[in-house]
């Protein structure tokens, strides 16, 4: 068996995914309420913070990690919320349920659009796609409780049995 000689594979040019991520980021136009940080040498890992200026979640800051997959843009980028938050479409582990990140992903979508999609989730949480069932139920049936629970959770308090991270 012949072992690999030059081992690294760096001879190969830059991957399609890498170039596309670079392009998306180069064309990114600032969205009010969103800040992104990344190492220009590694556009595949992006840190994002979301500060909604209206709605249930206004006044808080939420941090996300975005991982651009190797077969981007054929596959959607992956997001994870770093704080434990009370949100119908984000579970306690930080998974995000957003249609354009799954079934409705298309290679023509860009990072700009999915960033905006995440912000949209905070401005208009959607009770029909529950990832946190209790939160979705509250939002749909007891909107006033929901508002109160959001406030409590953002202060780092409890909702029911669960304790949440302080984000306000």
Binding mask 7-46 for another protein (x = CB under 8 A): xxxxxxxxxx--xx-xx--xx------------xx-----
- Is position 127 an interface residue for another protein (rule: CB under 8 A)? yes
- Is position 144 an interface residue for another protein (rule: CB under 8 A)? no
Rounded to a whole number of angstroms, the minimum distance from the CB of residue 116 to another protein is 17
Q: Give CA 69 to chain center in angstroms.
A: 14
**Contacting another protein (CB under 8 A), which of 71, 148, 158, 163?**
71
- Which has the closest alpha carbon to 34: 43, 19, 46? 46
DSSP classification of residue 155? B
Report the alpha-carbon distance of residue 146 to residue 54 in Å, rounded: 16
Cβ–Cβ < 8 Å for 113, 135? no
**Contacting another protein (CB under 8 A), which of 48, 114, 136, 167?**
136
Stretch that binds another protein, among 59-67, 100-108, 109-117, 150-158 (CB under 8 A): 100-108
Total chain residues near another protein (CB under 8 A): 48
Pseudo-torsion of CA 92, 95, 99, 102, nearest 10°? -150
Which of 159-163's residues contact partners 24+ apart within 8 Å by CB, and which partners?
A: 159/86, 159/134, 160/134, 162/84, 162/86, 162/92, 163/84
**Nearer to another protein among residue 82 and residue 105 (C-beta):** 105
Catalytic residue numbers, as ranges: 97
Which residues sit at the interface with another protein, rule CB under 8 A? Answer: 1-16, 19-20, 22-23, 26-27, 40-41, 70-71, 74, 89, 91, 93, 95-97, 99, 102-103, 105, 126-131, 133, 136-137, 140-141
């Amino acid at each position: 068996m012949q072992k690999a000689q030059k081992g690294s594979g760096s001879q190969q040019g830059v991957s399609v995914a890498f170039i596309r991520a670079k392009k998306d980021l180069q064309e990114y136009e600032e969205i009010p309420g969103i800040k992104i940080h990344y190492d220009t040498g590694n556009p595949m890992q992006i840190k994002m913070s979301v500060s909604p200026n209206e709605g249930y979640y206004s006044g808080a800051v939420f941090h996300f990690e975005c991982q651009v997959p190797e077969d981007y843009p054929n596959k959607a980028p992956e997001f994870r919320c770093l704080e434990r938050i009370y949100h119908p479409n984000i579970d306690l582990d930080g998974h995000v349920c957003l249609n354009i990140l799954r079934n409705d992903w298309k290679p023509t979508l860009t990072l700009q659009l999915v960033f905006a999609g995440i912000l949209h989730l905070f401005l208009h949480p959607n009770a029909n796609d529950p990832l946190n069932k209790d939160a979705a139920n509250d939002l749909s049936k007891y909107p006033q409780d929901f508002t109160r629970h959001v406030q409590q959770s953002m202060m780092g308090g409890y909702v029911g049995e669960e304790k949440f991270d302080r984000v306000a």
